[in-house]
Amino acid sequence: MDLRDDIAQILVKEDEIASRVAELGDQISRDYQGKQLILVGVLKGAAIFLADLVRAISIPVSYDFVAISSYGADSKASGVVRIIKDWDDSVVSKHVLVIEDIVDTGWTLRLSYLLENLRSRKAASVRVCALLDKPSRREMGVPIDYNGFLVEDKYVVGYGLDYNGAYRSLPFIGVLKPEVYGGG
């Protein structure tokens, strides 16, 4: 089975991703010059983006990962979030840049939880870098300080984004055919 057969449209090509990641890396390097920066990638989707981004940043940087999950009777409505995998290193007096694959509704990131949790640990600053921003689905205000691409309200996969654990390995961002996920 070729995963590409399930793609209706390529939204962002591999070379466009590489170019934008390089631009973000340059911008982040300038903005954090002389500062102690740690990238915190939100698992699992941001892992590929973080790996490429950290190589595009020209200043000393460390990185870690966090896994968060919504839960409750209706996770979308409850907004209750818990940390499944905490970051390993202290963020005290460090500048933290949270790396997300996509921000759509805003519930996954939960600034009132994840970002405030980082701030409560006495980080010097906490900001957000997202590969994809889907503002048409936003339910919660999420400040995105570094934005890769704006995307329409379509089911996107590839470059770390998945459907049922598949498609993360695709080197581009594509729209999944509705018949694959039951949306058509």
Positions annotated as catalytic residues are 104
Identify whether 154 is preceded by a cis peptide bond (ω within 30 of 0). Answer: no
End-to-end C-alpha distance for the chain, whole angstroms? 21
Note whether 102 and 131 are within 8 A (CB): yes
Q: Is the dihedral of CA 108, 112, 118, 121 positive or negative?
A: negative
Paired tokens of 81: 């979030």
Paired tokens of 11: 């939204």
Strands 95-103 and 37-42: parallel
Paired tokens of 124: 């010097």
Residue with tokens 């704006």: 150
Q: Give the orientation angle of helix 14-31 with respect to helix 47-56, to 10 degrees.
A: 60
